[in-house]
Protein backbone atom coordinates (compact mmCIF):
# COMPACT_ATOMS: atom_id res chain seq x y z
CA UNK A 1 0.00 0.00 0.00
CA UNK A 2 1.06 3.60 -0.48
CA UNK A 3 2.97 5.03 2.42
CA UNK A 4 4.29 8.49 3.26
CA UNK A 5 6.81 8.98 6.05
CA UNK A 6 8.06 12.27 7.40
CA UNK A 7 11.32 12.03 9.24
CA UNK A 8 10.27 12.99 12.69
CA UNK A 9 7.20 14.11 14.51
CA UNK A 10 9.00 17.07 16.00
CA UNK A 11 12.08 19.07 15.13
CA UNK A 12 13.56 21.83 17.29
CA UNK A 13 16.13 24.23 15.87
CA UNK A 14 17.75 27.50 16.82
CA UNK A 15 16.65 30.70 15.16
CA UNK A 16 18.80 31.55 12.15
CA UNK A 17 19.69 27.93 11.37
CA UNK A 18 18.43 25.92 8.41
CA UNK A 19 15.64 23.47 9.10
CA UNK A 20 15.57 20.33 6.95
CA UNK A 21 12.47 18.16 6.85
CA UNK A 22 12.33 14.81 5.07
CA UNK A 23 9.48 13.12 3.24
CA UNK A 24 9.87 9.54 2.03
CA UNK A 25 7.26 7.67 0.06
CA UNK A 26 6.76 4.08 -1.03
CA UNK A 27 4.52 2.43 -3.60
CA UNK A 28 4.01 5.76 -5.33
CA UNK A 29 5.07 7.09 -8.69
CA UNK A 30 4.29 10.73 -8.06
CA UNK A 31 4.14 13.20 -10.90
CA UNK A 32 4.73 15.91 -8.33
CA UNK A 33 4.89 16.53 -4.66
CA UNK A 34 3.37 19.32 -2.60
CA UNK A 35 4.36 20.80 0.74
CA UNK A 36 1.89 22.45 3.09
CA UNK A 37 2.12 24.37 6.34
CA UNK A 38 -0.44 23.88 9.08
CA UNK A 39 -0.77 26.04 12.15
CA UNK A 40 -2.62 24.71 15.22
CA UNK A 41 -6.38 24.68 14.72
CA UNK A 42 -6.13 25.84 11.11
CA UNK A 43 -6.36 24.23 7.69
CA UNK A 44 -3.19 23.43 5.72
CA UNK A 45 -1.80 26.20 3.53
CA UNK A 46 -0.10 25.37 0.24
CA UNK A 47 3.59 26.32 0.09
CA UNK A 48 5.37 24.70 -2.81
CA UNK A 49 4.92 22.18 -5.57
CA UNK A 50 7.76 20.36 -7.29
CA UNK A 51 7.44 18.20 -10.39
CA UNK A 52 9.16 14.89 -10.95
CA UNK A 53 11.42 16.40 -13.62
CA UNK A 54 12.53 19.21 -11.31
CA UNK A 55 15.40 18.58 -8.96
CA UNK A 56 14.94 21.71 -6.91
CA UNK A 57 12.43 24.51 -6.37
CA UNK A 58 12.90 27.70 -4.39
CA UNK A 59 10.56 30.30 -2.96
CA UNK A 60 12.07 33.01 -0.79
CA UNK A 61 13.65 31.17 2.19
CA UNK A 62 12.12 27.82 1.20
CA UNK A 63 13.80 25.17 -0.90
CA UNK A 64 12.41 21.79 -1.94
CA UNK A 65 14.27 18.94 -3.61
CA UNK A 66 12.75 15.88 -5.22
CA UNK A 67 14.70 12.67 -5.80
CA UNK A 68 12.54 10.08 -7.55
CA UNK A 69 15.32 7.48 -7.32
CA UNK A 70 15.51 7.75 -3.55
CA UNK A 71 11.74 8.36 -3.39
CA UNK A 72 12.40 11.33 -1.20
CA UNK A 73 11.75 15.04 -0.93
CA UNK A 74 13.63 17.43 1.31
CA UNK A 75 12.15 20.69 2.52
CA UNK A 76 14.54 23.37 3.74
CA UNK A 77 13.85 26.62 5.54
CA UNK A 78 16.91 28.84 5.64
CA UNK A 79 17.48 31.57 8.22
CA UNK A 80 14.63 30.12 10.24
CA UNK A 81 12.49 32.37 12.41
CA UNK A 82 10.14 31.66 15.33
CA UNK A 83 7.27 32.51 12.96
CA UNK A 84 8.22 29.43 10.92
CA UNK A 85 7.11 27.23 13.81
CA UNK A 86 4.29 25.05 12.49
CA UNK A 87 3.57 21.54 11.25
CA UNK A 88 4.75 20.85 7.72
CA UNK A 89 3.01 18.23 5.62
CA UNK A 90 4.09 16.58 2.39
CA UNK A 91 1.72 15.11 -0.18
CA UNK A 92 2.90 13.26 -3.28
CA UNK A 93 0.51 13.02 -6.17
CA UNK A 94 0.52 10.43 -8.92
CA UNK A 95 -0.39 10.95 -12.57
CA UNK A 96 -4.01 10.25 -11.64
CA UNK A 97 -4.28 13.96 -11.05
CA UNK A 98 -7.93 14.07 -10.09
CA UNK A 99 -7.45 12.12 -6.91
CA UNK A 100 -7.34 14.02 -3.62
CA UNK A 101 -4.15 14.51 -1.70
CA UNK A 102 -2.99 12.01 0.87
CA UNK A 103 -0.75 13.47 3.53
CA UNK A 104 2.07 12.30 5.70
CA UNK A 105 1.69 12.76 9.44
CA UNK A 106 3.73 15.91 9.30
CA UNK A 107 6.73 17.28 11.13
CA UNK A 108 6.13 19.80 13.89
CA UNK A 109 8.89 22.39 13.64
CA UNK A 110 9.75 24.63 16.57
CA UNK A 111 12.19 27.47 15.98
CA UNK A 112 13.65 28.66 19.25
CA UNK A 113 14.72 32.28 19.62
Nearer to other proteins, 41 or 113 (CB): 41
Residue 45 binds to other proteins (criterion: CB under 8 A): yes
Rounded Cα distance, 81 and 88, in Å: 15
How much helix, strand and coil, in percent to the nearest 5, is found in the chain?
5, 55, 45
Question: 48-77: which residues touch other proteins (CB under 8 A)?
Answer: 49, 51
Rounded Cα distance, 77 and 58, in Å: 10
Nearer to other proteins, 70 or 101 (CB): 101
Residue 10 binds to other proteins (criterion: CB under 8 A): no
95 touches 31 (CB < 8 A): yes
Query: CA 68: distance to chain centroid?
Result: 15
Query: CA 7: distance to chain centroid?
Result: 10
Nearer to other proteins, 77 or 89 (CB): 89
Which one among 47, 76, 102, 110 touches other proteins, defined by CB under 8 A?
A: 102
Q: Which residues bind other proteins (CB under 8 A)?
A: 31-32, 34, 36, 41-46, 49, 51, 89, 91, 93, 97-98, 100-106
Amino acid sequence: SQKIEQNSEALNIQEGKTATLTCNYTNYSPAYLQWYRQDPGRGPVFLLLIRENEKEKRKERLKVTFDTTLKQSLFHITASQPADSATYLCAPRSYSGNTPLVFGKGTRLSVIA
